[in-house]
Amino acid sequence: MPRPRSLTQGQIAAAALAVIDRDGLAALSMRTVAGELGMSTMALYRYVGDRDELEGLVVELVLDGVDASPPPGATWQERITVLAGRVRERVGAHPGVVPLTMTHRHRSAGILRWSETVLGVLAEAGVEGPERVVALRGLLSYLIGAIQLEHLGPLSGEGTAAIAGLPRAEFPRMAETAGHALLIGAEEEFHGGLAIVLRGIAART
């Protein structure tokens, strides 16, 4: 009977994501998103309860875009690598939302499906019971940390600069390591770390 809604939550989320992608996370506000949609600020509150919920929708939009279907791959390690890569790729396409993903991760049905698929692959690999819980959480921990390190770590090269300027006498290993670090790309680093975790799961006692 009443007036129909003119926008879906998906359109709201898309507008917010557009603001973040264009002007950065700091530019996200109820005003900017409303402006992006051509509505007044308060009209937005007919669609979302508060700013927090808006952020949740953005994360949902990004994370639900992750393909959770069982991936190709000869071994279970390859399959999990594909699955992890999908998350990294999708989130990496919108670096601004990285800080939001942690707090709103649980709202995404897509990421739950993704977890379900990962658990299936782990089961294939013979990982069972509590061991499988620990493996999944370990994998998730690495994935979260690695993505954050990749996108929030340098922060305009501040970190790299700090390490480069370290007193070599007091930090001999760091200085040496910084040299090696230059030879390694982000991609290689991510997959190298992931390979460590996968070897660790495979080599369970």
Which stretches of the chain bind a copy of itself, using CB under 8 A?
99, 102-103, 105-107, 112-113, 115-116, 119-120, 123, 129-130, 132-138, 140-146, 148-149, 152-153, 155, 158-159, 162-163, 166, 170-174, 177, 180-181, 183-184, 188-189, 192-193, 195-204
Measure the CA–CA gap between 132 and 47, rounded to whole angstroms. Answer: 39
What is the Cα Rg of the chain in Å?
Answer: 21
CB under 5 to 8 A by kind: which of a copy of itself, DNA, none does 93 bind?
none
Minimum CB–partner distance for residue 150 and DNA (Å): 26
Minimum CB–partner distance for residue 12 and DNA (Å): 10
Minimum CB–partner distance for residue 151 and a copy of itself (Å): 10
Minimum CB–partner distance for residue 59 and a copy of itself (Å): 13
Q: Is 177 exposed, middle or buried (0-12, 13-18, 19+ CB in 10 A)?
A: exposed
**Quick one: how far is CA 143 from the chain centroid?**
8
- Which residue, 40 or 75, has its beta carbon nearer to DNA? 40
- Which residue, 42 or 162, has its beta carbon nearer to a copy of itself? 162
Q: Write the DSSP symbol of residue 72.
A: P
Q: Write the DSSP symbol of residue 38.
A: T
For helices 76-92 and 129-152, angle between their N-to-C axes, nearest 10 degrees: 40
- Concatenating the DSSP letter of every residue in 161-193 gives HHHHTS-TTT-HHHHHHHHHHTT--HHHHHHHH
Q: Which of 12, 90, 127, 27 is nearest to 58 (CA)?
A: 12
Which residues are near DNA by CB under 7 A?
Answer: 1-7, 27-32, 39-43, 45-47, 50-52
- Which residue, 40 or 103, has its beta carbon nearer to a copy of itself? 103
Which residues, 6 or more positions from 197, have their beta carbon under 8 angstroms from its beta carbon?
Answer: 138, 139, 142
- Which residue, 41 or 103, has its beta carbon nearer to DNA? 41
CB under 5 to 8 A by kind: which of DNA, a copy of itself, none does 6 bind?
DNA
- Which residue, 94 or 151, has its beta carbon nearer to a copy of itself? 151
CB under 5 to 8 A by kind: which of a copy of itself, DNA, none does 193 bind?
a copy of itself
